[in-house]
Structure 1
Amino acid sequence: MTRITTHTVEYPADGLTMVGHLALPAGDDRRPAVLLGPEGMGLGDVERRRADALAELGYVALAFDLHGGRYLGDPGQMLARCMPLLADPDRMRGIGGAALDVLRAHPRTDPDRIAAVGYGTGGAVGLELGRGGADLRAIGTVNALTTGRPGETARIRCPVWAGVGSEDPIMPPAQRDAFTAEMREAGVDWRLTVYGGALHAFHHPPVDHPVVPGVGFHPAHARRAWRDVVDLLAECLPVTGGRRA
């Protein structure tokens, strides 16, 4: 396994002190980088492990925080914070932009080669960074087929890949149709993968606290979705010296 190093990084955003997880590949050269966004519960061990896996592939990876160092395992608390956030593109861009600034400024990061990958709320943040005109080489989302304000999706200047479960009640077919129509109208280079039989958050291993209805882990599709993310990065953000996971 490629040797990596990890660090906790603190930075201000949304009136909070955010606590992110930075994973660095071996060496001291500049590398392409990935901004990694978590599900609505917030940054946890699943996202930290994903950032570490990306560092093993040769990327600088920052798993960013949504809730000021808190993990919201209570569904009511999570929805109370995330629903207003998801309705406010400027707040999402502020949270994502603060983390992107931290990642871009790191001496190991090639500032001209950064992608955003996110799950649920973290994926919506990545899309809003693109709609805000952020310089990204790729955007990948799972469970985040969110639409934006009129006309702003045309600012996305990179390929977009999105994944969703066919049985996801939170991102139902009508939401898929709205998302794909918006991407087509904006002329974005986009792809949508629908994973048959999967629910919302199908990529996330079971947790030891209550979840919102419609959530369920699908191990096979979780592996496939990860491979799809890695393929997107390999296409748009190739790196030498890493190890495919």
Structure 2
Amino acid sequence: MAVERIDYKAGAVAATGALVYDEKVAGRRPLLLVAPNWLGVSEDAVERVRSMAGRKYVALVADMYGGGRVAGTPDEAGGLANAVRQDTSERRRRIVAALEALRRESDARGIGDLKRQAAAGFCFGGGNVLELARAGADVQAVICAHGDLVTPMPAKPGDIKAAICVLHGSKDPVVPKEHRDTFETEMEACGAKWQMLVFGGLLHSFCEIESDVPGIACYDAGAARQSFQMIDDFATAAFAGKL
């Protein structure tokens, strides 16, 4: 698998993402933009995307902080992520720029199929890809795994073009049930095509083995395996117009 560090501009921010693809596969493949958790473009995030991309996708790990920055501690990560969360327009600008970089770089290499595009995100990254959808990105599918669900700029009718899938834990203390209810109200009001699967009893970050925090986040191997399969299945169905 090839992993190339890609520099691109996101407004005034000089970003560095990771383009991931199997260089032994010929022809154009669907695009998968992946927004990582609040640690940024970490080695864990890149390795996860290597597995997600496989022989099927050309993927980009989006850089939401600039310079490919990786947070060293939860406190640092919280400060970086919250600064982005506080400016929704800038948050959208950065995730849209990552999608544009994926399109540009994959097309330049002759490996990206611009007619098939999806985005997936984890935790903070899940919120980022939902903001991508709210910004009207022309992608077929957006999948949010245990991510931020509420926004100060809710979608209006006609804003969202993508089909939306949310995977969440019923006991997530970071994004609790009232946030799920608010998100549901938003999706119904804006007329989006959306679905949500709630895993009973699970906490935050159940897809990420490196993110355990007692009482807050806990990896679950079965739910993780199911979630990664669902990300692929949902995107594939969206590409085929079968949702």
Shared fold (TM-score, shorter chain, > 0.5) = yes
Gaps of at least 5 residues in structure 1 are 239-245
CA-based RMSD: 2.0
Look up the match of 2:82: 83
Q: Is the contact between residue 21 and residue 55 of structure 2 (CA under 8 Å) also seen in structure 1?
A: no
Deviation at 1:231, TM superposition (A): 1.2
Structure-1 separation of matches of 2:157 and 2:180: 15
Structure-2 separation of matches of 1:14 and 1:81: 17
Look up the match of 2:16: 19
Structure-2 separation of matches of 1:206 and 1:30: 32
1:177 aligns with 2:181: yes
Look up the match of 1:243: none
Normalising by structure 2, report the TM-score. 0.88
Structure-2 separation of matches of 1:215 and 1:153: 34
Look up the match of 2:236: 234
Structure-1 separation of matches of 2:156 and 2:123: 20
Deviation at 1:237, TM superposition (A): 2.9
SS of equivalent to 2:210: coil
Gaps of at least 5 residues in structure 2 are none
After TM superposition, list the pairs within 5 Å mapping 1:1-245 onto structure 2.
4-13=1-10, 15-25=12-22, 26-68=24-66, 69-105=68-104, 106-107=106-107, 108-148=111-151, 149-152=153-156, 154-206=158-210, 214-237=216-239
Q: Is the contact between residue 127 and residue 139 of structure 1 (CA under 8 Å) also seen in structure 2?
A: yes
Structure-1 separation of matches of 2:126 and 2:37: 8
Change (3 A) 1:127 1:201: same
Identity of aligned residues (%): 29
Residue range with higher mean Cα deviation, 141-150 or 88-97: 141-150
Deviation at 1:151, TM superposition (A): 4.1
> Once the two structures are superposed, what CA deviation does each residue of 1:140-191 show, in whole Å capped at 9, x if it has no partner?
0012242332444641112100011111001111011111111111111111
> Once the two structures are superposed, what CA deviation does each residue of 1:87-137 show, in whole Å capped at 9, x if it has no partner?
322111111111111111122212222111001121211111111111011
Deviation at 1:32, TM superposition (A): 1.2
Structure-1 separation of matches of 2:76 and 2:214: 11
Normalising by structure 1, report the TM-score. 0.87
Change (3 A) 1:88 1:53: same
Change (3 A) 1:167 1:102: same
Residue range with higher mean Cα deviation, 44-53 or 99-108: 44-53
Q: Is the contact between residue 204 and residue 222 of structure 1 (CA under 8 Å) also seen in structure 2?
A: yes
> Once the two structures are superposed, what CA deviation does each residue of 1:1-54 show, in whole Å capped at 9, x if it has no partner?
xxx322111223364432211112333422210000001111222321232223
For 2:238, give the aligned amino acid: C
Aligned residues: 233
SS of equivalent to 2:216: coil
Change (3 A) 1:150 1:205: closer
Per chain length, whose mean CA-contact separation is higher, i.e. which structure has more relative contact order (CA < 8 Å, sep 6+)?
A: 1
